[in-house]
Chain A
Amino acid sequence: MSDSTLIGLHHQEEHHPELLHHFAEAQQQRDAASLGMWIFLGTEVMFFGGLFCAYLIYRRAYFGDFGAASKSINATLGATNTAVLICSSLTVVLAVWAAQTARRSLLLISLVITMLLGLVFLGIKADEYKDKFEEHHVPGASFSFDHVPIPGHPDQYANPRHAEIFFALYFIMTGLHALHMIIGLGLFAWLLFMAWKGHFTPEYHTPIEIGGLYWHFVDIVWIYLFPLLYLIDRHP
């Protein structure tokens, strides 16, 4: 990074230590970083998009079976998790604001709460997986979904093979989402460390901003997963 002296690039008066050599000014670096994150999120949208596409096709093909399978998931836990994630989005926004306005302790607290909420989410998720495991709803050799009536058709049972596709998609989609949460927690641990060391200032807090973008994205994916997997066949 100090290579820049070699080629006489020092036009800027105030050269922030975090400004990388190949950027002309801090604004450019910030813009590049946030554009990069947005584009990366575009990639992520397409990544999940393939799964959503598969889900929609099978939901249409195996309508009732998917309804029956969906009903077997614990919607209360799912709703709790949705609330947890929405709260964590709030604390992320607080963290960004705290970084912008140089409120160090608020920044640290917000980051810690965000991570705690993330852990709560994963804990609840693990509990849900445990239930599914005990009910033999994990696709594979011991899968069983016999004699589960299709919602609205009490005399008709769901086809276990089709329900298995639902659970396969359920585990892949929520699993991939959970993996993103875990990556997010790692990212936030690093942000917390940097914040604790006092690296972020109102002039330089890009990592908080793009880390926040990532966290929001993971939340939004959940906002779509929750109704598609938990709520498709719940009626009052």
Chain B
Amino acid sequence: MSMATATIQTVERENYLNKEYGVGSWLFTTDHKRIALLYLISITFFFFIGGFFALLIRLELLTPAGDLVQADTYNKLFTMHGMVMVFFFLIPSIPAVLGNFLVPMMIGAKDLAFPRINLLSWYLYIIGGVMMMHCVLTGGVDTGWTFYTPFSTAFTNTKIVEAGLSIFVAGFSSILTGLNFVVTIHRMRAPGMTWSRLPLFIWAHYATSIIQILGTPVIAITIVLVAVERTLHLGIFDPKLGGDPLLFQHLFWFYSHPAVYIMILPSMGVVTEIIACFARKRIFGYSFVAFSSIAIAVFGFLVWAHHMFVAGISLYSALIFSLLSYAVAVPSAVKVFNWTATLYKGSIHYDAPMLYAFGFIGLFTMGGLTGLFLAALGIDVHVTDTYFVIAHFHYIMVGGALMGYLGGLHFWWPKISGRLYPESWARLAALIVFLGFNLTFFPQFVLGYLGMPRRYFHYPQEFQVLNVLSTAGATVLGVGYLLPMIYFLWSMRYGKPAPDNPWNAAGLEWMTSSPPTTFNFETEPVVTWEAYNYDELDKPRREEVKVVG
């Protein structure tokens, strides 16, 4: 497919893309890079499905009355939007696409430790995804992505069990990806690639994997309990039968709060790489950035009940969970300060990935700071379950995680596809996404403090102006997301062939060809330098020789 623009200067080298052809060579591949591309295609599909639901939600909310869809349909829309986006887009996004592609390459390995398990993860994801789509097409679910009992187990008559099982299956995909990463990072590093020389992207993925491994099984068993309770009419969570609905919330948030860090930590890793590259600097406070990832993963497991301050938990447990929530905010703040400090005395370029990274820092800062509001017990009582929460977590998950994902996709696109994307379009898209995002979600903070509850199909008149602003922003945002999709596809055929290291970036992945060969490196690399050795890279060319072992 890339023959059209192949230039006369080289006969195209063999790489992972052109080594084999045919559907079978993709569906049965164990090459981590090909699996990454399989994930890229599948999560893009789910992103646009979830985005379509979001668009319908925003259109419905254009007016206070319910006039576009029925109440039932609306409830299903926000439920399916949440489930698809959380479990089938955000959680796999960076780890399964960029992580899959880059983790082995960044540490100098030929593949992940368990290539066949990696392929199995993708199949599990697809099975889960097909079940979810089947569920959507045959009626959907209307509980909200949170499945709160006893509504989900004893009241709704929608397809809880099927949706739950699809998440259960996709969850195992996530667990196996995390397991593969941890083993790979422990056991597959190239000679000389010590822990303190690892790119921070790897540290972030290591922390993420811990959460995937230890958190996901808890939601899996919780879903099993919900499904069993619903089918056999047991009383594990149903107070009518002696159960405790709050136990469900505890188990659910024990996973679903750390799940937020599954989404944001990899994104932080991406942004760290981008900032180092485009500021031409070693990252400021390497070990603090590395360990803050681990700290976030660990503390992240201890704050789940801050979703339940008005749910009926005791005053004293609320106090503890509020305090711990502030503890988890500290490492996040440390990261932001270190990124900012990295720019100091740098040599800063403004290519598209860097614009996304700037956007990430800005939006993540706002998302993080509004988290301080929600962790404050007194304020949480007022703003929990309102649009304030919606705005807050979209700043983190969309403003943060998605900005990082897009930035990373641009940054490594030359490596992945062997082509350059059109730079000016990419900068335009970054700007549109940033503006559209803020227009969509900033008004929701105001709505939330005014008291507009979430999951409302119709709402009082006085909230309309802000809702109209938000819907207007959503359309701008939609354009911002379509643009990259179009020019990435365009670049696969018409983009300029990418050199091996278009950004002159540090890291083993840039020392191999673009696109890389099937086993990543011609010869096994031996690492003799620290991460982010931009001082050496920016010296005259002769240094290049030393780099290849």
- Residues of A whose CB lies within 8 Å of any CB of B are 3-4, 6-7, 9, 20-24, 28, 31-32, 35-36, 39-40, 42-44, 46-51, 53-54, 57-58, 61-62, 139-141, 159, 161-162, 164-165, 168-169, 172
What is the CA–CA distance of A50 and B225 in the complex, to the nearest angstrom? 10
- Residues of B whose CB lies within 8 Å of any CB of A are 109-115, 117, 175, 179-180, 182-184, 186-188, 213-218, 220-222, 224-225, 228-229, 232-236, 241-244, 247, 251, 254, 517-519, 522, 524
Q: Is there an interface contact between A62 and B242, defined as CB atoms closer than 8 Å? A: yes
Known A-B contacts A39-B179, A43-B214, A47-B218; the reply to A7 vs B242 at CB < 8 A is no
Residues of B within 8 A of A43 (CB): 175, 179, 213-214, 216-217
What is the CA–CA distance of A39 and B228 in the complex, to the nearest angstrom? 27
Residues of B within 8 A of A7 (CB): 517-519, 522
Q: Is there an interface contact between B247 and A168, defined as CB atoms closer than 8 Å? A: no
Kindly provide the distance from the CB of B231 to the nearest chain A CB, expressed in whole angstroms: 10
Q: Is there an interface contact between B110 and A22, defined as CB atoms closer than 8 Å? A: yes
Residues of B within 8 A of A44 (CB): 217
Please list 26 pairs of residues, one from A and one from B, whose beta carbons are closer than 8 Å in the complex, sorted by A's number.
A21-B110, A21-B111, A32-B184, A32-B188, A35-B186, A36-B113, A36-B179, A36-B183, A39-B179, A39-B182, A42-B213, A43-B213, A43-B216, A47-B218, A50-B251, A51-B221, A54-B225, A54-B236, A54-B251, A57-B247, A164-B234, A164-B235, A164-B241, A165-B241, A168-B228, A169-B236
Known A-B contacts A3-B518, A22-B109, A39-B183; the reply to A46 vs B217 at CB < 8 A is yes
Residues of B within 8 A of A61 (CB): 244
Q: Is there an interface contact between B110 and A46, defined as CB atoms closer than 8 Å? A: no
What is the CA–CA distance of A208 and B251 in the complex, to the nearest angstrom? 35
Known A-B contacts A39-B213, A50-B221; the reply to A168 vs B234 at CB < 8 A is yes
What is the CA–CA distance of A20 and B522 in the complex, to the nearest angstrom? 18
Nearest CB to that of A38 among chain B residues? B183
Nearest CB to that of B190 among chain A residues? A24
Q: Is there an interface contact between A49 and B517, defined as CB atoms closer than 8 Å? A: no
Tell me the total A-B contact number using a CB cutoff of 8 A.
Answer: 122
**What DSSP secondary structure best describes chain B's contact surface?**
helix
Q: Is there an interface contact between B218 and A21, defined as CB atoms closer than 8 Å? A: no
Nearest 4 Cβ contacts at the A-B interface: A47-B217, A50-B221, A22-B110, A22-B111
In the complex, given contacts A35-B187, A50-B218, what are 13 additional A-B residue pairs having Cβ atoms less than 8 angstroms apart? A4-B519, A7-B517, A9-B519, A22-B112, A36-B179, A47-B221, A51-B221, A51-B225, A139-B232, A165-B236, A165-B242, A165-B243, A168-B236
Nearest CB to that of A30 among chain B residues? B187
Residues of B within 8 A of A54 (CB): 225, 236, 247, 251
Residues of A within 8 A of B519 (CB): 3-4, 7, 9, 21-22
Q: Is there an interface contact between A46 and B228, defined as CB atoms closer than 8 Å? A: no
Residues of B within 8 A of A21 (CB): 110-111, 519
Known A-B contacts A139-B232, A164-B234; the reply to A32 vs B175 at CB < 8 A is no
What is the CA–CA distance of A189 and B243 in the complex, to the nearest angstrom? 41
What is the CA–CA distance of A161 and B251 in the complex, to the nearest angstrom? 22
Residues of A within 8 A of B215 (CB): 46
What is the CA–CA distance of A39 and B179 in the complex, to the nearest angstrom? 7
What is the CA–CA distance of A73 and B214 in the complex, to the nearest angstrom? 32
Kindly provide the distance from the CB of B340 to the nearest chain A CB, expressed in whole angstroms: 35
What is the CA–CA distance of A192 and B35 in the complex, to the nearest angstrom? 32
Known A-B contacts A9-B519, A161-B241, A164-B242; the reply to A50 vs B217 at CB < 8 A is yes
Residues of A within 8 A of B241 (CB): 161, 164-165
Nearest CB to that of B240 among chain A residues? A161
Kindly provide the distance from the CB of B549 to the nearest chain A CB, expressed in whole angstroms: 12
What is the CA–CA distance of A32 and B183 in the complex, to the nearest angstrom? 6
Residues of B within 8 A of A58 (CB): 244
Residues of A within 8 A of B220 (CB): 47
Known A-B contacts A165-B236, A168-B235; the reply to A57 vs B186 at CB < 8 A is no
Residues of B within 8 A of A4 (CB): 519
Central interface residue in B109, B114, B232, B524, by most chain A CB within 10 Å: B232
Kindly provide the distance from the CB of A71 to the nearest chain B CB, expressed in whole angstroms: 19
Kindly provide the distance from the CB of A10 to the nearest chain B CB, expressed in whole angstroms: 12
What is the CA–CA distance of A23 and B180 in the complex, to the nearest angstrom? 14
Nearest CB to that of A163 among chain B residues? B242
Q: Is there an interface contact between B234 and A32, defined as CB atoms closer than 8 Å? A: no
Nearest CB to that of A138 among chain B residues? B232
Q: Is there an interface contact between B235 and A161, defined as CB atoms closer than 8 Å? A: yes
Nearest CB to that of B117 among chain A residues? A36
What is the CA–CA distance of A20 and B214 in the complex, to the nearest angstrom? 28
Central interface residue in A43, A47, A62, by most chain B CB within 10 Å: A43
Residues of A within 8 A of B228 (CB): 168, 172
Q: Is there an interface contact between B113 and A32, defined as CB atoms closer than 8 Å? A: yes
Nearest CB to that of B191 among chain A residues? A24
Nearest CB to that of A52 among chain B residues? B221
Residues of A within 8 A of B111 (CB): 21-22
Q: Is there an interface contact between B179 and A22, defined as CB atoms closer than 8 Å? A: no
Known A-B contacts A35-B183, A54-B251; the reply to A140 vs B188 at CB < 8 A is no
Q: Is there an interface contact between B221 and A22, defined as CB atoms closer than 8 Å? A: no
Residues of B within 8 A of A31 (CB): 187
Q: Is there an interface contact between B179 and A50, defined as CB atoms closer than 8 Å? A: no
Within the complex, which residue of A22, A40, A168, A172 is in contact with B115, where a contact is CB–CB below 8 Å?
A22
Residues of A within 8 A of B232 (CB): 139-140, 168
What is the CA–CA distance of A234 and B117 in the complex, to the nearest angstrom? 45
Kindly provide the distance from the CB of B174 to the nearest chain A CB, expressed in whole angstroms: 11
Q: Is there an interface contact between B114 and A36, defined as CB atoms closer than 8 Å? A: yes
Central interface residue in A36, A139, A159, by most chain B CB within 10 Å: A36
